[in-house]
A = this chain, B = another copy of it.
Amino acid sequence: MLDDIDKDLLKLLQNDSKQTNKALSHALGLSVTAVYERIRKLEKNGIISKYVALIDKKKVDKAFVAFCHVKLVQHSQDYVMKFEREVRKLDEVLECYHISGDYDYLLKVLVEDMEAFREFMVKKLTNINHIGSTHSMFMISEVKHTTAITL
């Protein structure tokens, strides 16, 4: 489905989506039209899902990252769906995964500082019903963070 040129193209676009087709065509050794059509195809079949601006969390005072394990008291369809619906609404939660292991969910939470995290836990997260227990870990430093998938 994806040939080597597509993979190179995706690598370039995952690192900088503001490059012109001309620059891409040069980097890939293709014509501008060919690049244009490959991108269009990648967009159409949903391989490229969106184009976004990434912002530096330190610059906007949202550098406190917490990882929060959550266990539900019960795993009925109702409780699970309600929890997932509510958690999706929380702006502080950037990521939420249903995972294997001792806990049911792993959340990545982004806030200003520990005080804001406390507020988040008390007023928002544990306000969702049916949460049995939670366990939080805090980021000391970010060693690596990329959105680029290597193909």
Binding site for B on A (CB under 8 A): 2, 10, 13-18, 45-57, 59-60, 62, 65, 67, 84, 87-88, 91-101, 105-106, 110, 137-151
Contact = CB atoms under 8 A, between A and B. Distances in A.
Contacts of A50: 15-16, 53-54
A139 B99 contact: yes
A51 B16 contact: yes
A30 to B, nearest CB: 17
A147 B59 contact: no
Q: Pick the 8 closest A-B CB pairs, nearest first.
A: A91-B150, A13-B53, A96-B143, A96-B144, A101-B137, A98-B140, A17-B53, A18-B51
Contacts of A143: 84, 87-88, 96-98, 105
A56 B51 contact: no
29 contacts: A2-B60, A10-B53, A13-B52, A14-B54, A14-B55, A16-B51, A47-B55, A47-B59, A47-B60, A48-B55, A49-B55, A50-B53, A52-B148, A54-B147, A60-B149, A60-B151, A67-B99, A87-B144, A88-B144, A94-B145, A94-B148, A94-B149, A96-B145, A97-B142, A98-B139, A98-B143, A100-B137, A101-B137, A110-B149
